[in-house]
Amino acid sequence: MNNPPDISQDPAEHEEYAHGVHQHVMRYVMVGVTLLVFTALTVALSYVNFGTAKANIVVAMLVATFKAGLVAAIFMHLAAEKRLIYRVLIFTAFFVLGLFFLTYLAWYNPIVR
């Protein structure tokens, strides 16, 4: 029969593990606070007129891109990934931008104009 693992090991090992968890939790809390601050910034900027509707959208997208990057880097653990994940991410971004461009061409139809 298998014996259960001995949980009466060195308590310092568990303390080190708890300290590591505390560091991760503090990082998550700091990122959460940063996301809340930038969400408040997004709401505040929605009341500011930057001249045109396009400028307002660009400002909103810049703030949203920063928040999405922060979520991806920390909560999705992309900051610690290997090169392969970045290659896949760049490949995906290339095709997303291609689809955006095709949508742009369909919307404005530069051939007919």
Torsion of CA 38, 39, 41, 44, to 10 degrees: 180
Q: Using 50, 70 and 90 to split pLDDT, how confident is the model at 98? A: very high
Q: Is there a single domain that holds both residue 63 and residue 100?
A: no
Model confidence pLDDT, tens digit, residues 63-95? 999 999 898 888 877 777 677 877 888 899 999
Q: Is there a single domain that holds both residue 26 and residue 73?
A: yes
For the chain, what is the domain count?
Answer: 2
Q: Which residue has the higher pLDDT, 18 or 58?
A: 58
Q: Is there a domain that residue 98 lies in? A: yes
DSSP 9: S
Predicted TM-score (pTM) of this structure: 0.57
Q: Is there a domain that residue 4 lies in? A: no
Q: CA 102, CA 108: separation in Å to the nearest integer? A: 10
DSSP 51: S
Alpha-carbon separation of residue 103 from 106, 107, 110 (angstroms): 5, 6, 12
By the 10 Å C-beta count (0-12 exposed, 13-18 middle, 19+ buried), 112 is classed as exposed
> What's the mean pLDDT in 49-65?
89
Q: Is there a single domain that holds both residue 17 and residue 57?
A: yes
Q: Is there a domain that residue 59 lies in? A: yes
What range defines the domain where residue 95 resides?
82-113
Q: Is there a single domain that holds both residue 31 and residue 60?
A: yes
- Kindly tell me the sign of the dihedral angle through the C-alpha atoms of 50, 52, 53, 55: negative
User: 27 near 20, Cβ under 8 Å?
Assistant: no
